Structure 1
Amino acid sequence: MNNATSSPPAARGPADHEVRAQIVVAATEHFSQYGYEKTTVSDLAKAIGFSKAYIYKFFESKQAIGEMICSNCLREIEADIRAAVDGVDRPPEKLRRMFKAIVDSGLRLFFQDRKLYEIAISAASERWPSAIAHEECIRQMLLELLRQGRESGDFERKTPIDETAAAIYLVMHPYINPVILQLSSHYTGQAPAQLSGLVLRSLSP
């Protein structure tokens, strides 16, 4: 599969500085307990034991810290999706697995840590770079899967592939976007199988 992935935003200070990682770990724990929206950089500095000015040497804002945490979570989701897709050979089954992994990974983040999920909601609502990169990663994975299906003869070739990928992405989008996912939780049990089945029938050559 395509190795596109969401990338963390650029941050201040040396990229490999252990203090940056320490801040991210502490911020993840703090946001998990108190929530992202209710926490200020001053709150975070006090909890970590650093000065606010020192934190700003590594991150230009609270959002920059949230971006790093969000990128870490989204990379886990992308890895889950890629592992599910790469675990089978035939493109139709890959597509079924992709639908299911998108839903399962989003729900895992949603239910395991509701307050960290708030960061993903902020990222999607405010169009943070990490959320945009994540969406592009999913699109590229989908596009590669469609190419494989066309090459194997499993998928039709008449429709422009970009148009096909865009349409399928719109079907997936309610389960990719955390804002919509929380409103669609009543349908997540049957949605992956039903939607992937419908899409696969439309892709039949």
Structure 2
Amino acid sequence: MHSAPSSPPPVRGPSDHDVRDQIVEAATEYFGRYGYEKTTVSDLAKAIGFSKAYIYKFFESKQAIGEVICANRLHTIMAAVDEAVGTTASAPEKLRRMFKTLVEAGSELFFNDRKLWDIAATSAGEMWPSARAYDEHVRALVTRIVRDGREAGDFERKTPLDETADAIYLVMRPYVNPLLLQHNLSGAAQATRQLSSLVLRSLAP
């Protein structure tokens, strides 16, 4: 006896992935207009046309939605930094470009998407996973540049690598951390040029 071939399951509408993307896209627009802190999941549900219970099937909280949006924004910044750094072989120039691009990309987000910037600032203040990943990416990039510079003979080798990388990150932090950058925007471009030069002088062999 042969079993009857099973029929494909009925199509029930968009996939979970599509629905999640739809919610994130709508939330990005809504948060960008009204702000993250002032928006509730109920507000978002009404704007999207879904029930609040339906949104909770895909995201456990408003923060979970904000986390995805923040991760997307920080990923865009890091992609710009990686591209800028990847176009030169010189470690000193990589360091300058990294610092410059981080500040430019962060400032652009602050001035052009101010309410979405608030999500990044909240993420940094509460150390959401996206903020931790961003910090780790920056730290890893600093470490790699310093290591490359030492191997090329551009940087001194006496100070332990992790100590050097941590010190550079601390110098950069007020201008690359979203929560802190908003208080250091005035003169940030000039400050980062000067600090880059100071750091590079301290790294000279």
TM-score normalised per structure 1:
0.91
CA displacement at 1:40 relative to structure 2: 0.3
Q: Which moved more, 1:75-84 or 1:174-183?
A: 174-183
Corresponding residue of 1:65? 65
State the structure with more CA Rg: 2
Q: 2:87 and 2:158 mapped to 1: Cα distance?
A: 28
Return the letter of the residue paired with 2:30: H
Matches within 5 A, 1:14-163: 17-163=17-163
Q: 2:186 and 2:40 mapped to 1: Cα distance?
A: 34
CA displacement at 1:178 relative to structure 2: 1.5
Corresponding residue of 2:7? none
Any stretches of 5+ residues in structure 1 without a counterpart? 1-14
Corresponding residue of 1:164? 164
CA displacement at 1:177 relative to structure 2: 1.3
Return the letter of the residue paired with 1:104: E
Return the letter of the residue paired with 1:54: Y
Return the letter of the residue paired with 1:72: N
1:202 matched to 2:191? The reply is no
Return the letter of the residue paired with 1:166: D
CA displacement at 1:16 relative to structure 2: 6.4
Return the letter of the residue paired with 2:36: Y
Q: 2:134 and 2:179 mapped to 1: Cα distance?
A: 14
Per the alignment, in what secondary structure is the counterpart of residue 17 of structure 1?
helix
Q: Which moved more, 1:177-186 or 1:152-161?
A: 177-186
CA displacement at 1:187 relative to structure 2: 2.1
Return the letter of the residue paired with 2:38: K
CA displacement at 1:192 relative to structure 2: 1.9
**Cα RMSD for the two superposed structures:** 1.1
CA displacement at 1:74 relative to structure 2: 0.2
Q: 2:46 and 2:95 mapped to 1: Cα distance?
A: 47
Return the letter of the residue paired with 2:89: D
Q: 2:16 and 2:85 mapped to 1: Cα distance?
A: 32
CA displacement at 1:17 relative to structure 2: 1.2
Per the alignment, in what secondary structure is the counterpart of residue 186 of structure 2?
helix
Return the letter of the residue paired with 1:110: F
Q: 1:110 and 1:81 mapped to 2: Cα distance?
A: 17
TM-score normalised per structure 2:
0.91
Corresponding residue of 2:11? none
Any stretches of 5+ residues in structure 2 without a counterpart? 1-14
Count of equivalent residues: 191
Q: Deviations over 1:18-66 (max 9, x none)?
A: 0000000000000000000000000000100001111111100000000
Q: 2:77 and 2:16 mapped to 1: Cα distance?
A: 23
In 1, are the aligned partners of 2:124 and 2:177 still within 8 Å (CA)?
yes
Runs of 4+ residues deviating >3 angstroms: none
Per the alignment, in what secondary structure is the counterpart of residue 87 of structure 1?
coil
CA displacement at 1:69 relative to structure 2: 0.1
